[in-house]
Structure 1
């Protein structure tokens, strides 16, 4: 089964930290709105986007926000045996989840939304086409990290609808970056 191009989306602080104790170390409402807009927007109103995440990312989403609204939610886990009711798909590995998302004609875009292990694995797929990375201009004590990636392979691009301006919220500055895999 062919895998379609997909994107990775994350927010990380200066040391590439993305979480601590299975929680985000910051509260940035506007950054979260950006995440929702990017992962929810489709050109074709009859289609939806898939968000693929690991078990810990799924469990870190407050229950009242699970599943992520307006998106098809897939979880990759070897330890969850039975699919939770609210979940659209449960898969033993990332390859199978990507194949399932790629095979549906109801899916427009596929996004990997965490955590560390799923990000690391996804960056090795040749179909990993874009990285949407918010960089927070601060250091946080984290126990999970966004993997370093080859900036020769993934070049930063300007993307319509993604601001290059420095954002500021709750005393924190951050910037949005989009990287695209070079052929």
Structure 2
């Protein structure tokens, strides 16, 4: 290797080290780290057998614990992603059923509405065309030549019965 490439590698390594050091400093301050480092060093010097036991336990247990934690996290992520994909699939299937049903129900509702409007308009037209429709005072010419006069009472309010109608029969001949 050339000196130029070695200096670039060392420069990159220093950059990675300083970046890592900054990130650690953000999480744990250097003073706190130094305090805990001193406490561990004092414990190792005062009780070397207990420290060696704890260190060996941590050394041999760290890998299985890390694997278990990574397995648990990846299983949770896999379950979450699977649940989302499963839900999206069945929501899509439900939409394939819902859209045609909504189209049919919307069409039926429009047809019923059009039928109701048409029935109302035709019924109103027929009612207005009938010779016996009540639109105020009215005279009806009967086939036998008699004339029937219907007069609505003016002060009767909005009555729907026949209580507010006064019927008078006239004997006058009707001429065409």
Same fold by TM (over 0.5)? no
Higher strand share goes to which structure?
Answer: 1
Q: TM-score range by the shorter chain?
A: under 0.3
Question: Higher relative CO (CA 8 A, sep ≥ 6), structure 1 or 2?
Answer: 1
Higher helix share goes to which structure?
Answer: 2
| Structure number, greater radius of gyration | 2
Q: TM-score, normalised by structure 2?
A: 0.16
Q: TM-score, normalised by structure 1?
A: 0.16
